[in-house]
A and B are shown apart, each in its own frame.
Chain A
Amino acid sequence: MRFPFRSLASLCLLASLQPAASANEDFAFFESKIRPLLVEHCFDCHSGSKTKGGLSLDSKAGWSKGGDSGPALLPGDPDQSLLIKAVRYTDEDSAMPPKKKGGKLPDSKIALLEQWVKMGAPDPRVASAKIGGMNAVEAKTWWAFQPLPKTSAPSAPASASAQIDAFLNARIQSESLQPSAPADKRTLLRRATYDLTGLPPSPQEADAFLADSSPDAFTKVVDRLLASPQYGVQWGRHWLDVVRYADTAGENTDRPLIHAWRYRNWVFDALNKDLPYNEFIRFQIAGDLERASAQRAQLNEGIIATGYLAIARRFGHEISKDVHLMHEDLIDNLGKTFLGMTLACARCHDHKYDPISAADYYSLYGIFQSTRFSYPGCEASGKPRDMLPLIAKSEADALMKPWLQKRAQEDALRTKLASAGKTLKKSFTEETALLAAAPIAEGASVAFEQSQKTALDQITVRKGEVLLLTVSPNKNHGADSTLVEWTIRDTTSPERVWSVSDLVSSLTESNPHPGAQDAAWCFLSITKDGPVFLHQKATSVNGHSDIQKWSIGDIPSVFVNSSDQQLMVWTTLPARSFLIHPGPNQPVAVAWVSPMDGTIRVQGRVADAHPSKGDGVAFELQHLRTLGTGTALLELGRNLQIPEAGPAPSIPWAYAVAEAPPVNARLQLRGEPEKPGDEIPRRWLGIFGGQPLSKPTESGRRELGGWISSHPVAARVMTNRIWQWHFGNGIVRSPNDFGSRGEKPSHPELLEFLASEFVASGYSIKAMHRLIMQSAAYQRSSDTSESLLQKDPENRLLARFSRRRLAAEELRDSLLSVSGQLDLSPGEVHPFPPEDEWKFTQHSPFNAVYEHTKRSAFLMTQRQRRHPFLSLFDGADPNSSTAQRQTTTVPPQALFFLNNPFLHKQAAAFASTLTTIPDDPSRLRRAFRTLFQREPSAPELHHATTFLASYRTSPEDAWNAYSRILLAGNEFSHLD
């Protein structure tokens, strides 16, 4: 027994708890019995970065804090300790270790653990200070998060470009390598033109550049290209890759986002006008707030820019149920895009490697929970809503109000009509007298008298009662055109006569249709819910203006031949005839509403007017005797004539976000929304200071935009992207990950220098292009020596320029461009089906490809189904951030060049642009100049003319074929 009089702390321990002597012994017990046991049985899942159930057992702090269910041990009380309960297998759900990890411990080991807890669970292990998954010291000094070197003003372009080369050349020299020679002017022009616009240079542009021997010739080219509106499309497309832009929502029905295109075009415009990058960030996160008090046009820009947030992918059947997944998608993209940080890794637990805690994740989550996102609709809950109007609210209201009122009237009416229909259903089935009824065989005709069920010459009627003639399809099979003759006479005054033949000249004037002497006629479809008016009017049928009809859809219908001639159409329609066409299962009825009290006589006949088709019809003539039936029917019919509200007034909308009531999120244990933990205040990331919101009444987006855009890591990440899009690879080759799992910069000083220049230039992206493109490194040839290839196969040192294949969009745009088919005007909204016709379900999701000849950046991009061309040539995946395109080289791409109709069409169009040129050699020169900006060599000319001459079909075929060859060649689709 020794007294460890080593520190005051141990003295206190000694005083307060137990004899120090036993503390040492206790630790010894832990070391010899408990630590090995924990390592063997628990550490697989509960140590280091593995914290199943949120529980870590590799430090005292770990088990004290415990997992999702609270502290794992209650020192001194084994029975109340969750860990002991678990190893005892008391409760099957929490039994540990699980069967797959060896199952229940032997009793002896359980006893050891119990003893240890009874002893007070002595545990000398101290966790090292960590932020998220990174050692705190390392985190605070992490290279990417450090301030940038101070630069008061941007360097002069020439000296800055020289500085780039100085950094690169130092490495090249230290490796004893020889950089490649400068590229020739043609190659350089082709490289720069594709780089900045995604399109080939024209032969005239090539001539002009080759002829310009002034020292700033290339500078002028770069300026010209940067001023082209096509620049924004090309570089905007890069940005859309990163923000995983799509025109559909991605939930189970993949609904169209009709208004998302405004954000896409905003990105192109912002790049064209060189919106400073820090503003570019702030706009996408909180443009609506940044421009809250600006003029309408500026405000609109701000609103549209937040489309970045709104295009977050939606998930599931009922998207509001899976909203936590949308937030994850958003926070994931936000982190990668702007900060090069994998923030979403902290959704279920602290980040395993980087200094990001789960609390950081939920502090941002709260900001987006305090934001209202445009809602795309989903299968479970209906229509899109919460778009942002791009006109003043008063203006939008003024437009919308009358329409909404009409809609409300229409809805109210529809409800009223439905209930009227139900009431009428009763009087159509109860208190009725059957006057006549008969089936009508194929081609037959039956007079009422032949089939009468009661005398038809003395029927007593009261005013408002109804006589109803119903024609139904026989045997429930199809239906036929049926001729109807029907006359009703007042037996006391023979001049009072009503007949359907009176309706022939005026059928479509109205329904209900006025009859003589205050009677009325109604044309109805008889449904299981009661009578429904045939409300669709056609004043010509099958191109015959003599045929008019009332119908619902094509059939059921009531129609007439109003001509004095019989008409040969689908069958022969007698002159001046009145006809009925029931639908399958849909009887059609003509109702006569009596204007009188008295007795009437009824005559008529029903005939199959379309023999040899179907299997006939049947009719019933009824007397509906419920008082008021006729009045109710007429009421129902007249109300139908209130005009429909029609399509909604066209208001420009943005798919964007707005502020919502501010709220802090609660941590979701293990990332599960059903397991809420502590409330986490909205704030900036802990590693960057964790500043709280200065205005908690706002969502926090405005401040978040400010924090992100002013952080040096944002400048580093974007500088690296710009570099990558010029050279093919970044200085950091993991452009979306500047954390510990990402790659380190190949030229750290260069990145620091460029990022500082970027900030000093006022975050001008165009200034960065000028700087980089003026460097010797950018202008080097892609050809190189064998030794260079062997020493630096990946071209990390940039002693040469990396050859690249055209991206999918560049390839399609080039094909359209050289064939003269490319439409350079910007695309706007896609031709989606009208919103009120959407019936998308997971069983039948939205699915379309819309072809056009505009630039490929304007193609409709769907999340569930890739565009076939873009997918074939490694286009971006709109489901997650694409920081860098892949280049796969697979045979199906070659098959495209061999057999695809689009390729054949462009090749033929290209060939036809050459037809005005007289001879093959001149045509070949033009072709080579258009496609490659150079003259063909003598052997090439010889080879091509031989091919053309030997192609045995027509010269047109031969040129189509040779055009395909030129377009399929490596030179067309690669940049040196």
Chain B
Amino acid sequence: MNAHTIPRRHFLQSAVTGSLLFPGILQQLMADSTDPLAPKNPPLPAKAKRVIFLFMTGGVSHVDSFDPKPTLTRDHGKEIKADHPEIKGRPGYERIYLKRPQWEFSPRGKSGIEVSDLFPHMASCADELTLIRSMHTSHSNHYNATLGMHTGSFAFARPSIGSWVSYGLGTINKNLPSFVVIAPKQTYAGGQVFASDFLPGSHQGTLVIPGPEPVANVARRIPSDLQSRELDALRSLNQAHLQTRNADPLLEARLRTFETAFGMQMAVPDAFNLQEETDRTHEDYGLARGQTTGFGWQCLAARRLLERGVRFVELIDSGSSGNWDAHGDMMTHGPLAKNVDQPIAALLRDLKQRGMLEDTLVVWTTEFGRTPFNNTAEAKGREHHPWAFSSWLAGAGVKPGTVHGATDEHGMRASVDPVHVHDFHATILHLLGFDHEKLTYRHAGRDYRLTDVEGHVVKEILA
């Protein structure tokens, strides 16, 4: 039957299976117009080729971590005007009082950026960070703010930033998805935070749940040699089917996906096989050998995915409960920080040492900050605060060891060079070589974009 195979298809298969022999041809094949994940060059010069997006769920307190406020300490207990959206009309919150930070700040590294003791390891990387202290957002609910930080939309389902990047850049490694999300638990707004929505489904984030079998349907249910035989038989069957029909890119593309899937069964476990990493690396990331959970695992797995050509990796640290949402007690930030602090610092050093930080953009953020006040000065927790929070970028295309923007003396409002979530998104896309106003998709008669009708690139932080 093989004798009847039309030459192009035959060629195509051998090229895919023997990809190492024909790199040039492989490139060509992957640029096939039927493949939405074919690698594409961005329209503008780009510093960043890939992104790792670290998302801290629940709202990290800026005044306890990256935004030092000595005046807030000085004015502890002082009553302020209760005009905050989060507490409007809430019984017991008719009067509010400033509340001092719970962690000490000190200048770090050559840059002297002040970071608190909440994040001692990240603090030791201060010279790598481009810290934005003037972030602000449009909603004070977790659900909406989380959706906004991921999709630019604070109410409606829209494509996630990772999906936009996948849509814009495609993928370099066909055996792995272009956009991977590693999250231990379901977060606010559910699957919408990594959904492709109206973008083609191939740009959907592939969810990896830390554990022994991180990606669905990858584990073989039958031995590899038998499966190869089945695939051979399937190929013959499909070829017989194709032979009696005109060449059809749809059918051919589907045929190819089986070759890729076969490869994924090896590539995916390989990417997640941390056994290959040295003891030293394990130690750096705070990982025990054989451990398959925890943020250290997430960070190291992420680095391995990036090395293998994945465009956008998002790491979410916790789920919709047991997270940074410290209403009751700020001290719950402690263990959450401990979970992420060392691994993130290790990731930054690891990327730098491997030369990957030059073309990888690392993003660290949360959905909103926490109030510098509460209804008593002795209250242990803080409430949701959309007016100001801190995020940082590091790596490709941003100025290391700098601080952009500032909040007012109490950390209440982003008062100097405010950066809205839309601006943040515009800047990330810019670093990847996209004009955020031009990376659009026509849907239901309208050209949609990540930044809706807003967004300005924060030029000041560009290297």
User: Which of A's residues lie within 8 Å of B, judged by CB?
Assistant: 100, 252, 254, 315-317, 322, 325, 329, 336, 342, 345, 734, 736-737, 739, 741-742, 782-786, 789, 803, 805, 842-845, 847, 864-866, 868, 871, 874, 877, 879-881, 883, 886-901, 904, 937, 939-940, 943-944, 947, 950-951, 953, 961-962, 964-966, 968-971, 974, 976
Contact = CB atoms under 8 A, between A and B. Distances in A.
Contact of A789 (B174, B186, B227, B246): B246
B201 A886 contact: yes
B104 to A, nearest CB: 30
Contacts of A898: 217, 220-221, 227, 258, 261-262, 265
Contact of B233 (A322, A879, A943): A943
**A742, A845, A961, A965: residue with the most chain B Cβ atoms closer than 10 Å:** A965
Contact of B257 (A843, A847, A894, A940): A894
Interface in B110-126: none
A247 to B, nearest CB: 14
**A736, A737, A892, A944: residue with the most chain B Cβ atoms closer than 10 Å:** A892
Contacts of B1: 939, 943
A322 B155 contact: yes
Interface string B228-245: 011001101110111001
B446 A741 contact: yes
B216 interface: yes
B160 interface: no
Interface string B1-30: 100000000000000000000000000000
B155 A315 contact: yes
Interface string B254-277: 110110111011000000000000
A974 B34 CA distance: 17
B413 interface: no
Given A845-B190, A892-B206, A965-B230, A879 B157 contact: yes
Nearest to B204: A871
A868 B226 CA distance: 27
B350 to A, nearest CB: 28
Interface string B165-201: 0000000001101000000001011111001011011
A737 B227 CA distance: 47
Interface in B397-429: none
B288 interface: no
- Majority secondary structure of chain A interface residues (helix, strand, loop or mixed): loop
Nearest to B192: A864
Given A737-B445, A881-B444, A895-B265, A970 B255 contact: yes
B191 A970 contact: no
Contacts of A100: 456
Contact of B261 (A805, A880, A891): A891
B219 interface: yes
A904 B220 CA distance: 11
A976 B250 CA distance: 12
Contacts of B234: 965, 968-969
Interface string B323-360: 00100000000000000000000000000000000000
Given A789-B246, A879-B156, A888-B36, 8 more contacts: A252-B144, A252-B189, A845-B320, A871-B191, A891-B264, A892-B217, A940-B237, A968-B258
Given A847-B186, A970-B241, A737 B444 contact: yes
A867 to B, nearest CB: 10
Given A342-B444, A842-B143, A877 B157 contact: yes
Given A342-B446, A886-B200, A894-B260, A842 B188 contact: yes
Contacts of A937: 240
B251 A970 contact: yes
B246 A783 contact: yes
B218 to A, nearest CB: 6
Contacts of B206: 892
Contacts of A899: 217-221, 265
B293 interface: no
Nearest to B236: A943
A783 B141 contact: no
A951 B226 contact: yes
A361 to B, nearest CB: 16
Contacts of A965: 230, 233-234, 237
A880 B192 CA distance: 13
A93 to B, nearest CB: 14
7 contacts: A322-B155, A782-B245, A880-B156, A886-B200, A891-B261, A897-B258, A943-B236
Given A316-B141, A864-B191, A943-B236, A961 B444 contact: no
Given A864-B191, A886-B201, A961-B222, A803 B264 contact: no
Given A844-B321, A889-B253, A961 B226 contact: yes
A75 B242 CA distance: 75
B23 to A, nearest CB: 20
B4 to A, nearest CB: 9
B260 to A, nearest CB: 4
